[in-house]
Amino acid sequence: MSIGQDAERVLQETSRTFAIPVAALPDPLRAPVMSFFLCLRGIDEIEDHTGLSAEAKRCLLGEISRALQAGRCTSSYLPLLRSHTELPEVARRIDEWAAMAPTSIAYRTWETLASMADHMAEWVGLRWRITNESDLDRYTFDVAGTVGLLLSDLWAWFDGSRTDRSLAVGFGRGLQTVNILQNRRQDLARGVDYFPPGWTEAQVRDYAVKNLAAGDRYVAGLAPGPVLDFCRVPLTLGWATLDILRSGRTKLTRGQLAALLGGLPPSVHRRQ
């Protein structure tokens, strides 16, 4: 199995939202986007892992950041990852995923990932303490708004697409807030509360709606093609998930997912 096929397998196993549109991207764009999301998912797994101490998480995230900043994404430069066998495959192989990025854009993706690893290490140290809306803004920017910015850079690298970067940040924030609402029970069980003190679920939903609306405007500004097709998938799923959360459920059924994808361009679900 080639590294590309292996990477696609791991992405399908770990990212329900993004595996579908990534697989549908044309060849020049698929590799850097897949590389980025696999690395991002690996970093997320370290941040959220319940079997690692805060110090171990900060150590690993710092090591990843230094490796990415140095451009030395090799197993020999990231020995701690390989030694933590309790980590899932997507996290242990971050060096391989990072190396998939084409050289002409690799350092831009590595720069973003290094910054995200540093910020996640900082949030681990803070025990994800959100004290007000400004903290929520900062957290959702650190872990998701920056994703929107990096993807905007990848679109420009691919075909010169020009996008509104402030809307890209809102798009990322909206999707992250949907995740916060969706995973509320599990997060509280591990002692993490992303809601500012005194905020209700309705207030957090309003925050998600405000930012997903930015995603609507971001997508409306894209020309027809693979970039638009890609962005429509997480946006559609984000709005749909927010709707089902209001009814007390947390996940879309397979039938609902198939119906939503069926309404998107053929390029999105051709590879499924």
- Coil, strand, or helix at residue 186? helix
* CA distance linking residue 209 with residue 211, whole number of Å: 5
Residue with token string 């069926």? 262
Which of 272, 48, 36 lies closest to 179 in space, CA to CA? 48
* CA distance linking residue 17 with residue 174, whole number of Å: 14
Tens digits of residue pLDDT in 55-95: 999 999 999 999 999 887 655 556 667 778 899 999 999 99
Q: What is the mean pLDDT of residues 140-161?
A: 97
Tens digits of residue pLDDT in 210-264: 999 999 999 999 999 999 999 999 999 999 999 998 888 877 776 776 677 666 6
- Coil, strand, or helix at residue 194? coil
Q: Name the DSSP letter for residue 67.
A: H
| Structural tokens at position 88 | 């899932």
